Amino acid sequence: MITKLLTKRYPGMRAWLMQRLTALIMAVYSVILFIRILVLQPDSYEAFLGFFQPSWFRIANWLFWISLSIHAWLGIRDVFKDYVPNMQVRSILLKILVVLLWVYIAWASWMFLSKQAA
C-alpha cells in the first residue's frame, strides 16, 4: 500500500513524505546545534572556527542545508500555487526559486565542505 503510494504515479505523496523527512532532519539538527552552542559558547574567532571544524558537524550542516532546500522548494511552491493564479507569473517565480535554491546550495556546500573556507 505505502510502496504503491510512493511511486511516480502519486507525486503528491512523495512531496508530502519529503516535506516530513526533511523537517525531521532539520529538527534533529536544530536541537544538536542549540546544545552545541550552549556547551561550547563560541565567543571568539578561534572558538567560532573550532565550532565549525569537526567534519561530522560540517556534514551535518551540509545535510541540514540540503534538507532545507528541499523543504523550502516544496513549501514556497505551495505558497505560489495558492496565491499566484497566473500560470506565467507562477512559472517565472518558480524558476527564480529554483535558481536561488541552487545558488544557496552551491554557496553552503563550498562553505561547509571545502577546506579553505574555515
Partner 1 sequence: MQENETQSSCHCKAKTRPKNLNLFTIRLPINALVSILHRATGCILFLVLPIILLLLQLALSSAVHFEMVVSILDSPFIKLMLLGLAWAFFHHFFAGVRHLAMDVHWMTTLMKARYTSKVVLVLGVLATLVLAVKLWA
Task: List residues binding partner 1 (CB under 8 A).
Answer: 20, 23-24, 27, 30, 44-45, 48-49, 52, 68, 72, 75-76, 79, 104, 107-108, 111, 117-118
Q: Which is nearer to partner 1, 92 or 117 (CB)?
A: 117
Is 40:47 a contact under the CB 8 Å cutoff?
Answer: yes
Closest distance to partner 1 from the beta carbon of 52 (Å): 7
Could you tell me which of 24, 104, 110 has the C-alpha nearest to residue 67? 24
Q: Which is nearer to partner 1, 17 or 92 (CB)?
A: 17
Residue 57, amino acid: F
Closest distance to partner 1 from the beta carbon of 43 (Å): 9
Closest distance to partner 1 from the beta carbon of 107 (Å): 5
The pair phi, psi for residue 38, each rounded to 5°, is: -65, -40
Per-residue CA distances from 47 to 51, 56, 59, 72, 97 (Å):
6, 17, 19, 31, 35
Closest distance to partner 1 from the beta carbon of 42 (Å): 10
